[in-house]
Amino acid sequence: MNYLAHLYLSGSNKGLVIGNFIADHVKGKSFLDYPKSIQNGILLHRKIDHFTDHHKLFKKNVSLLFPRFRHYSRVIVDMFFDHFLAAQWELYHTDSLEEFSSQFYQLMQEYRGNLPNKTKIILPIMSKYNWLLTYQTLEGLKHILFQMSQRTRFDSNMTLAVVELEKNYSKICLDFNTFFSQLINFVQSEKAKLS
């Protein structure tokens, strides 16, 4: 899953939100350098990634994209799934996505001192273009994929992935909805263990 799903799944616990957001920039056991609540967010992020990577519906969609996008396929499916969460946001959250995004960016400013350097680099870009809100539209998703493709070592053609999404939109949406309901149940169970 990508940023929006990780943040949504963290709930209202600030430590979980921060840890879940920074987790990709915290390697190995260096998560132990953080306060316990942030450690739990990092661990939760890792569990979400493991669940996602091994889920048959996620793997099915990665396989769909793999012939064209190779090892970028997993990242693209993460983005597709964030798009479906954003597009159907009112089914999952009482706050608007705009309010949710604003609260998140404010929280990150408050805890800026706890963020790894790589997170500090990406956060201003993410905030400036409001990626969390931009996920809602296909045009916005294409724009984010373009920004991400600018940072890849090889020509990823990620922006062309939106064409594949449009061709298979209803099928991928159905896969996401089934997958995400299972992920929510998994995360609730994992959060209970962490507390």
Q: Contact at 8 Å (CB) between 23 and 116? A: no
State mean pLDDT over 105-125. 91
State mean pLDDT over 126-133. 90
Given a cut of 90, whether residue 148 has pLDDT beyond it is: no
Contacts of 54 (CB under 8 A, 6+ apart): none
Band (pLDDT 50/70/90 cuts) for residue 62 is very high
Band (pLDDT 50/70/90 cuts) for residue 154 is low
Find the angle CA(126)-CA(132)-CA(136) to the nearest 5 degrees. 135
Taking alpha carbons only, the member of 153, 150, 129 closest to residue 141 is: 129
Model pLDDT, residue 144: 85
Q: Which residue segment(s) compose the domain that 172 sits in?
A: 3-194
Given a cut of 70, whether residue 153 has pLDDT beyond it is: no
Model pLDDT, residue 190: 95
Residue type, 162: V
| Total number of domains in the chain | 1
Model pLDDT, residue 158: 83
Q: What would the pLDDT profile of 25-36 be if each residue is shown by its tens digit?
A: 999 999 999 999
Angstrom CA distances, 163 to 135, 157, 158, 188, stand at 15, 11, 10, 34
Burial tier of 90 (Cβ tally within 10 Å: 0-12, 13-18, 19+): exposed
Model pLDDT, residue 157: 80
Band (pLDDT 50/70/90 cuts) for residue 159 is confident
Given a cut of 80, whether residue 160 has pLDDT beyond it is: yes
Query: What does pTM read for this prediction?
Result: 0.93
